[in-house]
Structure 1
Amino acid sequence: MRHLSVSPRRAAAVAAVLALAGGAAACGPKDSSASSGGKPEKGGTLTVLNQEPQQDFDPARLYTSGGGNVPSLVFRTLTTRNRENGAAGSKVVPDLATNTGEPSKNATVWTYHLKDGLKYEDGTTITSADIKYGIERSFAAELSGGAPYLRDWLIGGKTYQGPYKDKGGLDSIETPDAKTIVFHLDKSEGEFPFLATQTSFAPVPKAKDTGTNYENHPVSSGPYKVLKNENDGERLTLVRNTYWSAKTDSERKAYPDKIDVQSGLDATVINQRLSTSSGNDAAAVTTDTNLGAAELAKITGDKSLASRVGTGHFGETYYLAFNPKVKPFDNIKVREAVSYAINRTTVVNALGGSSLAEPATTFLPDQASYGYTAYDAFPAGKTGNAAKAKQLLKEAGYANGLTITLTHDTTKGEERGPEVATAVQEALKAAGITVKLDGLESDAYGEKVHSTTKEPGLFLSRWGADWPSGGPFLAPIYDGRQIVTDGWNFNHAFLDDAAVNKEIDAINKLTDLNAAAKRWGALDKKIGEQALSVPLVHPVYKRLVGKDVKNVVISDWTGVLDVSQVAVK
């Protein structure tokens, strides 16, 4: 769930970016009020109003189902998300395949069988060879941008350069017949069914591949096909794929006849249009624009508008990151002091209040699918424990306090921005810690905090995962083998603990996801006790829908209003 082209080790980082830029607003039936009454019916046009365009609309270049699930209307994959509200939506279910996969004993070989009756938009049959070819395309340098896991997981993946250069293809993907596909991995991966939801697993007929131009008219395997793609996804028009059959797809409802995706819009304009809901905007949604605190304040007093707001939580954490190689953060007592001193209430307020953020004491999101295990290694209460922080500073040799620097993004309203940085600065001041703020523009900020040679001692960060599990949440941040010296690094603490690495490998072998979740939670607690980061908040998302929108479904997997479920009649 990322929107940047990244190396394999950067992979899980930008989920948080897509959570915001691609639409994070998980809402379950217990906390979501968004949707109007009436039985959903087929017909009409759904309008999607977004800030971010549907760029690079090619399954090889898209990162999972980013862009608010719009790609999943065109591209089906071996498996997919369970399209239900809340926690039920955190499960992986079959899509093109008959089941979620058949693993070998050690989970290094995964076999899938295709359903009967699968067709492309031109009526031709979808085959296992098409899925193999679609995956192989994602290795081509000219089609970079998609999820990079297969480079690490597939045997031969690290050196393969795609079908345009390596004509022989990947031997680690076998297609013994037109309906069977087998993957050979170089390590145990019990979560392969989750990976098989990503758009690189969408079938691509080799005869229709036009390389970098494929994004203009990709061949649809889903309920909609591309009628028009203007200005690299700024305006995307989708109409029905008449060869799609609901008999082979129980997940996508495909109610509207047409979907009009309009992008490049200002957030204020989007929320105003949804609020007013005049003309076509009455049947509109957004998949990437949250309501702000001021807008929520106005909406709260209007029952009609309030009933059209979806609420929920994407699996994401905002946190303070330490670099233990930089003094004084090489001293664990200093890191503990900062952890105790933090005032999460002021951070919550800086992000718009309790309607938009909840205090966090765990690195893993507070959802069962991630393995959430409640703990608070350094209890700071709601407003910080300045006395405990001062005591630790004294033990660390800083009885008279100390001065540190906090690096942050200068983008206002951003979770790594000046408002949150100032809140942290004020909280630490009460504990005798003077914080100097080092604000950088977004590009410069990213280049600095993700560089192994330039990374500062303390900075604001965030993390979200590509699928709802502790694996893609903890491994990229704390697996020592994922430290990147020649690209963007996300293991900010440079943790390379043999025991941690071993436990990550052991959990990855498990195909029992409930058992795996418990161990991810235990590992989160073990790492958390080392004070390598300070969890600040888990974000809450609020999204408006048009007054004629029905059947709003937003799961805990992506946190995105699922456009495959929406009806407008």
Structure 2
Amino acid sequence: MDEFTRRAIIQAGLAAVGTAATPRIAMGQGRKIIKAVGKIDVYDPVVGTSYATSRHACQVYDTLFGFDQQGIPRPQMVGKYEVSNDKLTWTFELREGLKFHDGTRVTTADVIPSIRRWAERSGLGSALLESLKDITPRDDKTFALELKERFGLVPDALSWPFIMRKKEAETDPTVKISEIVGSGPFKFNEAETKPGAQYVYDRNPDYVPRNEPPSGMAGGKVVKIDRFMFVHIPDPQTAVSAVQAGEVDFLPETPMDLLDQLSKDENVKLEALYGGEIGFYRFNFLQPPFDNVKCRQAVLHLVDQSEFLNVNFPNPGYYKTCASYFACGTAMENDANTAWFRDAPNVDKAKQLLKEGGYDGRPVVILQPTDWLNGKVAAEILAAQLRRAGVNVQLHAMAWAGLVARRAVRGPQDQGGWNIFPSSIAVADAAFPLGVIQQANGEKGMWGWPSDAKHEELRKKWGQSDAMDERKKIAREMQDNAWNYVLYAWYGQWVQPSLMRANIKGMLKSPSGYFIPWWNVDKV
């Protein structure tokens, strides 16, 4: 792409931003505005599962607890709490100063339905519901969580639901909310937001931060800028040029082939803000051929992780191959049932398993995201790997928003269905057995709808434990079973640093890529 074309694309992508923001800037000299590259297709963090949705939500909403940089849950909206001796009753009191952006006070009438709505759509939430007897208000500020059986992850669970007003929180969890009103450190400026081009967030002057130092999603959320914006620039290299030119300030994921070049530019800097991602292929368990376990096992024997990693990440210092079901470098990492990994790729073994699984040559539909480079390449490589084993592959290309809609279709291919698609998840989330991608509760669960009773039994057992050694033992059992049943297949693990202007200071690290906090950040 020549420089004239690149600049034209940048200006087209930012034209709406300049038009909307200029009058406000002129009215107040010295206002600090940070622009980050991003696009939000779904505002509702219960309905949407993407990083973009979560990164939007953590600015607008607050949570009862928050994970610090080490992944430890700390009180956030909660002021104090206590646990009964039998650990079956947890009582929480909200801290002072919590108000929604419309000026109304946050009460337990808002908190309780927010927890319940989130739990209906979350892997961790569904595990909590299984152990839950009831959630009851004691007064406007105090509520009790009563359990039927011990659950070792209550503070962890309460670090996830974003607290909404009662009227949004009572919305069906499969239906998107219509108003974006939270109690967090930023207010969503719907009037100046132009979907598909820019998304605007203004500092909430009424937000009362905690007194502790900030750490990840925990501690004091002190906002040091006046406005934060997501700006949609679909081409990654154009986005890089926009950061270098100072037209935007931040790019969440930097193209790996440009890292060496960018490291020499004194106007920008590279920072790894979370512990990396791991890519996975998600199967549709309801439709052939991957309704048969032998065909899913065949994919394990076909996938060569290094094939994807070497293409996408030229610098080997940023990636690794990984056989652990819980990702590598995590507390739950283990080597149970990984002989297939040492043998892969084994095309002959894959052909044998496909035959045993009854594969009959029917088309296998791979959903390919066109606006996410890693996913686009991962889909192309998977198609080539499957074809080596004689699979009749059809690549269906679409934007990620289209893929999100398509993956909800449970019917066969000729009715808009699918068989497999690439995605990725933060390493910290892959290591968490109660996460959404690890559900195996059939059609009650998330897209792909895997079902395995032993897996669900082990997940519940892991969640009830509060001892690390016992959790590691259970995780080993879970991995041994999961690589036989094959809930998904990894295609590589990597760290992709963020790119930002050199004058951006105070970016907070987070255990998960779902969250990039914009409090504590300054533009100097």
TM-score, normalisation: structure 2: 0.72
Contact 2:322-2:492 at 8 Å conserved across structures? yes
The structural deviation recorded for 1:345 is 1.8
Distance 1:533 1:405 in 2: 20
Superposed counterparts of 1:52-131, under 5 Å: 52-53=39-40, 56=43, 67=53, 69-82=55-68, 84=69, 88=70, 90-98=71-79, 102=83, 105=86, 107=88, 109-115=89-95, 117-120=96-99, 130-131=107-108
Structure 1 unmatched ranges of 5 or more: 1-42, 158-170
Q: Does the CA-based 8 Å contact 1:405-1:437 persist in structure 2?
A: yes
- C-alpha separation between the residues in 2 aligned to 1:536 and 1:363? 12
Paired AA for residue 285 in structure 1: F
The answer to whether structure 1 residue 490 and structure 2 residue 458 are counterparts is: no
1:565 alignment partner, one of 516, 520, 523: 520
Pick closer, same or farther for the CA change 1:68–1:308 going to 2, 3 Å.
farther
Match of 1:241? 205
Task: Give me the identity figure in percent.
Answer: 10
Q: How does 1:416-495 map to 2 (within 5 A)?
A: 419-427=377-385, 433-442=389-398, 451-454=409-412, 459-462=420-423, 464=425, 469-473=431-435, 477=438, 479=440, 482-484=441-443, 489-492=447-450, 495=451
The one-letter amino acid of 1:411's match is P
Q: Is the 8 A contact 2:43 2:53 kept in 1?
A: no
CA contact (8 A) 1:277 1:547 kept: no
Shift of 1:528: 1.0
Superposed CA deviations along residues 205-236 of structure 1, whole A, max 9, x for unmatched, are: 88xx9996752xx363x444456643477432
Aligned residue type for 2:463: N
Question: Distance in 2 between the 1:468 and 1:338 partners?
Answer: 19
Match of 1:291 among 248, 251, 254: 254
Per the alignment, do residues 513 and 562 of structure 1 end up closer, same or farther by CA in structure 2, a change over 3 Å counting?
farther
Which residue number in structure 2 is paired with residue 49 of structure 1? 36
Q: State the SS of the aligned residue for 2:113.
A: helix
TM superposition shift of 1:342:
2.8
More displaced stretch, 519-528 vs 452-461: 452-461
**Equivalent in the alignment of 1:273:** 242
The answer to whether the 8 A contact 1:359-1:537 is kept is yes
Shift of 1:416: 8.0
More helix per residue: 1 or 2? Answer: 2
Please tell me whether residue 308 in structure 1 is matched to residue 270 in structure 2: yes
Q: Cα distance, 1:79 vs. partner?
A: 0.5
Q: Answer yes or no: is 1:133 the counterpart of 2:89.
A: no
Q: Specify the alignment match of 1:183 in structure 2.
A: 145
Secondary structure of the 1:360 match is: coil
Aligned length: 474
Query: Once the two structures are superposed, what CA deviation does each residue of 1:45-68 show, in whole Å capped at 9, x if it has no partner?
Result: 2413233148647x8878799546
1:20 alignment partner in structure 2: none
Cα distance, 1:545 vs structure 2:
0.9
Alpha-carbon displacement from aligned partner over 1:466-508 (angstroms, at most 9, x marks no partner) = 95752333x75453xx2117x964334xx333x3332222222
> Is residue 2:358 matched to residue 1:358?
no
Distance 1:319 1:181 in 2: 40
Name which of structure 1's ranges 544-553 and 449-458 shifts more when overlaid on structure 2. 449-458
| Aligned-partner Cα distance in 2 for 1:531–1:408 | 17
User: Is the 2:32–2:523 contact (alpha carbons within 8 Å) kept by the matching residues of 1?
Assistant: yes
If asked which structure has higher relative contact order (CA below 8 Å, sep 6+), I would say 1
**Letter of the aligned partner of 1:80 in structure 2?**
G
Aligned CA distance change for structure 1 residues 337 and 73 (closer, same or farther; 3 Å): closer
How big is the shift at 1:402? 9.1
Per-residue displacement from partner, 1:59-113 (whole Å, max 9, x unpaired)? 887879954645434433210121x3xxx1x221111224576367365x43212
Q: Which amino acid aligns with 1:347?
A: F
Alignment of 1:254-403 (within 5 A): 254-268=222-236, 269-277=238-246, 281=248, 284-286=249-251, 289-296=252-259, 298-300=261-263, 302=264, 304=266, 307-310=269-272, 312-319=274-281, 321=283, 323=285, 326=288, 330=292, 332=294, 336-353=297-314, 354=316, 357-368=319-330, 371-375=332-336, 377-381=338-342, 384-386=344-346, 389-390=347-348, 393=351
TM superposition shift of 1:428: 5.5
RMSD across aligned C-alpha pairs, in angstroms? 4.8
Tell me, in whole angstroms, the C-alpha distance in 2 between the residues paired with 1:150 and 1:523: 19
Query: Which one of 523, 535, 544 corresponds to residue 499 of structure 2?
Result: 544
Within 2, Cα distance between the matches of 1:114 and 1:97? 4
- Alpha-carbon shift at residue 415 of structure 1 (Å): 6.7
Asked if structure 2 preserves the Cα contact closer than 8 Å seen for 1:100 and 1:193, the reply is no
Separation (CA, whole Å) in 2 of partners of 1:410 and 1:120: 42
Q: Which one-letter code corresponds to 1:434 in the other structure? A: G
1:519 alignment partner, one of 474, 484, 491: 474
Q: CA deviation at 1:523?
A: 0.7
Query: Which residue is 2:11 aligned to?
Result: none
Distance in 2 separating the partners of 1:446 and 1:68: 15
In the TM superposition, what whole-angstrom CA distance separates every residue of 1:288-317 from its partner, at most 9, and x where no partner exists?
x422244335325x2536743436544543
For the Cα contact (< 8 Å) 1:62–1:146, is it kept in 2? Answer: no
Query: For residue 342 of structure 1, what is the amino acid of its counterpart?
Result: V
Contact 2:33–2:226 (Cα < 8 Å) also in 1: yes
| 8 Å Cα contact 1:409/1:417 also seen in 2 | no
Q: Distance in 2 between matches of 1:316 and 1:184?
A: 36
Aligned equivalents of 1:539, 1:317: Cα separation in 2 = 8
Other structure's SS at 1:340 match: helix
- 2:234 maps to amino acid: D
Say whether the 8 Å CA contact 1:361–1:376 is kept in structure 2. Answer: no
Partners of 2:509 and 2:36 in 1: how far apart? 17
Structure 1 residues 155 and 104, CA, compared in 2 at 3 Å: closer, same or farther? Answer: farther
Query: Relative to structure 1, is the Cα distance of residues 338 and 51 closer, same or farther in structure 2, using a 3 angstrom cutoff?
Result: closer
- Give the C-alpha shift of residue 262 in structure 1: 3.6
Tell me, in whole angstroms, the C-alpha distance in 1 between the residues paired with 2:56 and 2:38. 14
Structure 1 pair 241–101 and aligned structure 2 pair: CA distance change class (3 A) = farther
Q: Is the 8 A contact 2:78 2:92 kept in 1?
A: yes
Query: 1:546: Cα distance to partner?
Result: 1.3
